[in-house]
Amino acid sequence: MTTLERLLAEGLPREMIMDAAGWTAVADDFPQEAGGGTTSGVRFTVDGVSVSLPDVRKRWGNAANAAEAVYELAAQVRVKEPSILTRSFPALAVGLVRGGPPARLPAEDGQLSAEDGWLVAVRLAEAVRIVLEDAATAGDRTAARILPLVHRTRFLLLWAPRRFPSVQFPVDPGAFGSLEAFLPRAEQARLDWALDLVNHEEHPQLLSWQAEKLDAELRRLAFVDTASADTAGANTAGAGRHELLSTPLPATAMPATALPAATGDPDPGFRTWLVREAFLPRFMLLPSWRVLRPTVGRRPLGVLLLMATVLLAPVVAVVFDTHPLGVLRGVAAVTGAAYLAMFLLAARRREMTNLWCLRLPAGAALGMAALISLDDAWAHTNTWIWPVIASAALLTVATGYLAFEAQGHGIPGGRILAGRVLAVVALGFAHAVGVASLVLAAVVPAVKPDLAQTLAGPGATPPAVLLTLAASVGLAAGVLLQMLWDDRPVTYPLTHLPWRGRAR
Distance CA 273, CA 327 (A): 40
Q: How confident is the model at residue 109 (pLDDT cuts 50, 70, 90)?
A: low
> Which amino acid, one-letter code, is at 459?
G
Identify whether residues 322 and 464 lie together within a single domain: yes
pLDDT, tens digit (0-9, with 9 covering 90-100), for 437-460: 999 999 999 999 988 888 887 777
Q: Which strands sit side by side in the sheet containing 49-53, from one edge to the other?
A: 24-31, 38-46, 49-53
Identify whether residues 352 and 244 lie together within a single domain: no
Give 182-231 as a 3 state SS string: HHHHHHHHHHHHHHHHHCHHHCHHHHCCCHHHHHHHHHHCCECCCCCCCC
pLDDT, tens digit (0-9, with 9 covering 90-100), for 483-502: 565 567 888 887 555 555 54
Give me the chain's average pLDDT, please. 83
Question: Who's near 257: CB < 8 A, 6+ residues apart?
Answer: none
pLDDT (0 to 100) of residue 231: 33
> Domain tally for the chain?
2
pLDDT (0 to 100) of residue 484: 61
Domain end position, chosen among 227, 249, 266: 266
Identify whether residues 312 and 391 lie together within a single domain: yes
Lowest-confidence pick of 15-29, 59-73, 234-248, 468-482: 234-248
Burial group, residue 500, by CB count within 10 angstroms (0-12, 13-18, 19+): exposed
* Confidence check: pLDDT of 144 > 50: yes
Identify whether residues 190 and 259 lie together within a single domain: yes
- Do 28 and 41 meet the contact criterion of CB atoms below 8 Å apart? yes
Average pLDDT over residues 71-88: 83
pLDDT (0 to 100) of residue 34: 66
Tell which wins on pLDDT, 260 or 223.
Answer: 223
Strand 49-53 to 24-31 pairing? unpaired
Lowest-confidence pick of 11-15, 28-32, 447-451: 28-32
496 domain residue, yes or no:
no
- Do 45 and 24 meet the contact criterion of CB atoms below 8 Å apart? yes
Question: Who's near 465: CB < 8 A, 6+ residues apart?
Answer: 384, 387, 388, 391
State yes or no: cis peptide before 106, omega within 30 of 0: no
* Confidence check: pLDDT of 145 > 60: yes
102-111, 313-322, 412-421, range with greatest mean pLDDT:
412-421
* Confidence check: pLDDT of 261 > 60: no
418 domain residue, yes or no:
yes
State the virtual CA torsion across 482, 486, 490, 492 in degrees, nearest 10: -170
Question: What is the full DSSP assignment across 269-285?
Answer: HHHHHHIIIIIGGGT-H
* Confidence check: pLDDT of 422 > 90: yes
Q: How confident is the model at residue 138 (pLDDT cuts 50, 70, 90)?
A: very high
161 domain residue, yes or no:
yes
Domain end position, chosen among 219, 248, 266: 266
pLDDT (0 to 100) of residue 150: 96
492 domain residue, yes or no:
no
* Confidence check: pLDDT of 469 > 50: yes
Identify whether residues 439 and 391 lie together within a single domain: yes
337 domain residue, yes or no:
yes
* Confidence check: pLDDT of 260 > 50: no
Go through 292-315 and write b for each residue having 16 or more CB atoms within 10 A of its CB, e for each that does not: beebbeeebeebbebbebbbebbe
pLDDT (0 to 100) of residue 238: 37
pLDDT (0 to 100) of residue 101: 37
Q: How confident is the model at residue 239 (pLDDT cuts 50, 70, 90)?
A: very low
Identify whether residues 251 and 323 lie together within a single domain: no
Phi, psi of 223 (to 5 degrees): -120, 150
209 domain residue, yes or no:
yes
Q: How many residues are listed for the chain in this entry?
A: 504
Tell which wins on pLDDT, 325 or 65.
Answer: 325
* Confidence check: pLDDT of 381 > 60: yes
pLDDT (0 to 100) of residue 485: 59
438 domain residue, yes or no:
yes
- For the whole model, what pTM was predicted? 0.86
Tell which wins on pLDDT, 306 or 384.
Answer: 306
Of 187, 79, 80, 59, nearest to 123 by C-alpha is 59
Q: How confident is the model at residue 188 (pLDDT cuts 50, 70, 90)?
A: very high
Identify whether residues 257 and 310 lie together within a single domain: no
* Confidence check: pLDDT of 47 > 90: no
Identify whether residues 384 and 443 lie together within a single domain: yes
* Confidence check: pLDDT of 407 > 80: yes
Distance CA 318, CA 324 (A): 10
Q: Cβ–Cβ contacts within 10 Å for residue 26, how many?
A: 15
Lowest-confidence pick of 54-63, 72-81, 156-165: 54-63
pLDDT (0 to 100) of residue 99: 46
Tell which wins on pLDDT, 489 or 312.
Answer: 312
Identify whether residues 25 and 157 lie together within a single domain: yes
Identify whether residues 199 and 341 lie together within a single domain: no
Tell which wins on pLDDT, 166 or 278.
Answer: 278
Residue 126 CA to its chain's centroid (Å): 24
Lowest-confidence pick of 127-131, 151-155, 482-486: 482-486
Q: What percent of the chain has pLDDT over 90?
A: 40
274 domain residue, yes or no:
no
> Which amino acid, one-letter code, is at 241?
R
Identify whether residues 303 and 239 lie together within a single domain: no
pLDDT (0 to 100) of residue 377: 83
Structural domain harbouring 177? 4-266
pLDDT (0 to 100) of residue 175: 83
Identify whether residues 64 and 127 lie together within a single domain: yes
Name beta bridge partners: 53: 42
